[in-house]
Amino acid sequence: MARITLDHLAHAYKPDPQTPQDYALKEINHVWSQGGAYALLGPSGCGKTTLLNIISGLVRPTRGRILFDDRDVTDLATEARNIAQVFQFPVVYDTMTVRENLAFPLKNRRVPKDRATKRVEEIAHLLDLTPVLSRKASNLTADMKQKISLGRGLVRPDVAAILFDEPLTVIDPHLKWQLRSTLKEIHRALDITMIYVTHDQTEALTFADKVVVMHDGAVVQTGTPEELFVRPAHTFVGHFIGSPGMNILPCRVEGAAAYLGKERVALQRGYLNLPKSERIELGIRPEFVRLQPRGAGLPVWIRRIDDIGRARIARVDLDGRTIAASVPENLSVSGDEASLHLDPRHIHIYADGHLVAGEPLEGRAA
């Protein structure tokens, strides 16, 4: 049971890092609170596995400290950290039975046999492994093996956190959601901090209370799934999360209006202090862009309309920019000319990729 604090943590695999590019993991400050269910989301190569290995102690960070509660564990070996980890490919001890596998961490820590046996049975029950306890672990299916890996972490009552490194990679699709809900149940039942690394947004958003999105070795946003959806702090988050991702449109901002080429879009906030030299973009999710018959709104050409099951998404062309927009259910589209309505509450302005808060417009009508 512990709160995990990352304090000015950074890591480079090269021995003598100079530029930020040398760092696989750029400086990060973060607190994982006790009992939270976190997801670490990002594309492959973004540094999330490095971060996970630093937390578990398999990699020592180049700079910064890592604290469990108030204890500095930066230089502590893995086995001294009370951390459990479930790997991408199931790791089981082939020659042992499931029972022996589960008891292995306790045996190594010289827990008395009767207590160990009792604990193993409890955890086996929790993971539905009781029927296979006496079987050889090597002959089981991948999802069973992953449960055993997890179980080996759970049997240790002192475990501070469980780390998952893309644990569903080799699991059959129809068993994935089942295993994931088992994880949720266990999280609720045991009140253990869980950190779940994945590149799959669905896995991250359904598992976690809080999602940490990483991009290019840095954390770009931490928030609840809803926050990530409604208010992406970085164009990468907007683009990476959501299906289809956020529309990111280069624009020019003057006061409370953005210009997409010649077209003017009214904004709800003022952006007087935008940095001049940087790349300015307007971001809005397709869910908040509505296609409507030609008339008021931005004039666009319809390229195609995709039915993605729960909604219809139109790809339209606005002055050379491609925009994804949602098509209202009752709208029947004829011809390829239409208009767009952008919900002003959900328009965000980004400078060089980062969200700009803007100032409230005082005393002026929106």
Partner 1 sequence: MTDSVAIRSSDVKATAAPLTANKAVAGPRVNGRVVVMTLYLLFLMLPIYWLVIMSLKTNTEITSGLTLWPQNLTFDNYVTIFTDRSWYSGYINSLTYVLINTVLSIAFALPAAYAFSRYRFLGDKHLFFWLLTNRMAPPAVFALPFFNLYSAIGLFDTPWAVALAHCLFNVPLAVWILEGFMSGVPREIDETAAIDGYSFPRFFIKIFMPLIASGVGVAAFFCFMFSWVELLLARTLTTVNAKPIAATMTRTVSASGMDWGLLAAAGVLTIIPGALVIWFVRNYIAKGFALGRV
Partner 2 sequence: MTKTLNNKAWFLVLPVFLIVAFSAVLPLMTVVNYSVQDTFGNNQFFWNGVGWFQELLDPTTDLGGRFFDSLWRTLLFSAIILLIEVPLGILVALSMPREGWTVALSLVLMALPLLIPWNVVGTIWQVFARGDIGLLGWLVNHLGIDYNYTGDPLDAWITIVVMDVWHWTSLVALLCYAGLKSIPDAYYQAARIDGASRWAVFRTIQLPKMRRVLLIAVLLRFMDSFMIYTEPFVLTGGGPGNATTFLSIDLVKLALGQFDLGKAAAMSLVYNLIILAICWVFYTIMTNVDAKNERAEA
Residue 156 in the binding site for partner 1 (CB under 8 A): yes
Residue type, 205: L
Dihedral sign for Cα atoms in the order 154, 159, 161, 165: negative
Binds partner 1 by CB under 8 A, chosen from 3, 58, 182, 200: 58
Binds partner 1 by CB under 8 A, chosen from 29, 31, 69, 79: 79
Choose between 81 and 215: whose C-beta lies nearer to partner 2: 81
Residue 71 in the binding site for partner 1 (CB under 8 A): no
Choose between 142 and 361: whose C-beta lies nearer to partner 2: 142
Binds partner 1 by CB under 8 A, chosen from 69, 122, 319, 336: 122
Query: What single-letter DSSP state applies at residue 138?
Result: G
The crossing angle, in degrees rounded to 10, of helices 142-154 and 98-108 is: 30
Choose between 114 and 307: whose C-beta lies nearer to partner 1: 114
Instruction: Name, in order, each residue with C-beta under 8 angstroms of 63's C-beta and a sequence gap of 6 or more.
Output: 8, 9, 10, 11, 27
Choose between 195 and 325: whose C-beta lies nearer to partner 2: 195
Tell me the number of residues near partner 1 by CB under 8 A.
Answer: 27
The answer to whether the CB of 192 falls within 8 A of the CB of 201 is no
The answer to whether the CB of 225 falls within 8 A of the CB of 237 is no
Q: Which of partner 2, partner 1, none does 31 bind, CB closer than 5 to 8 A by kind? A: none
- Binding to partner 1 (CB under 8 A) within 164-223 occurs at 189-192
In whole angstroms, the minimum distance from the beta carbon of 73 to partner 1 comes to 9
CA distance between the termini of the chain: 50
Pairing of the two strands 348-351 and 280-284: antiparallel
Binds partner 1 by CB under 8 A, chosen from 30, 63, 65, 76: 76
Alpha carbon distance 246, 350 (integer Å):
12
230 to 227, 238, 242: CA distances (angstroms): 5, 9, 10
Is residue 304 exposed (0-12), middle (13-18) or buried (19+ Cβ within 10 Å)?
exposed
Q: Where are the alpha helices (DSSP H) in 191-232?
A: 201-207, 225-230
Q: Select from 103, 93, 95, 99 the least CA-distant residue to 134.
A: 99
* Interface contacts to partner 2, rule CB under 8 A: 56, 58, 77-79, 83-85, 87-89, 91, 93-96, 104-105, 108-109, 138-139, 149, 152-153
3-state secondary structure of 107: helix
Choose between 46 and 73: whose C-beta lies nearer to partner 1: 73
* Residue 291, both tokens: 């296609």
Q: Which of partner 1, partner 2, none does 75 bind, CB closer than 5 to 8 A by kind? A: partner 1
Q: Which of partner 2, partner 1, none does 89 bind, CB closer than 5 to 8 A by kind? A: partner 2
Alpha carbon distance 116, 110 (integer Å):
9
In whole angstroms, the minimum distance from the beta carbon of 98 to partner 1 comes to 19
Choose between 152 and 187: whose C-beta lies nearer to partner 2: 152
Residue 75 in the binding site for partner 1 (CB under 8 A): yes
Choose between 140 and 338: whose C-beta lies nearer to partner 2: 140
Binds partner 1 by CB under 8 A, chosen from 26, 48, 99, 119: 119
Q: Which of partner 1, partner 2, none does 190 bind, CB closer than 5 to 8 A by kind? A: partner 1
Residue 107 in the binding site for partner 1 (CB under 8 A): no
The residues of the shown chain that bind partner 1, judged by CB under 8 A, are: 13, 57-60, 75-77, 79-80, 82, 106, 109-111, 115-116, 118-119, 122, 156-158, 189-192
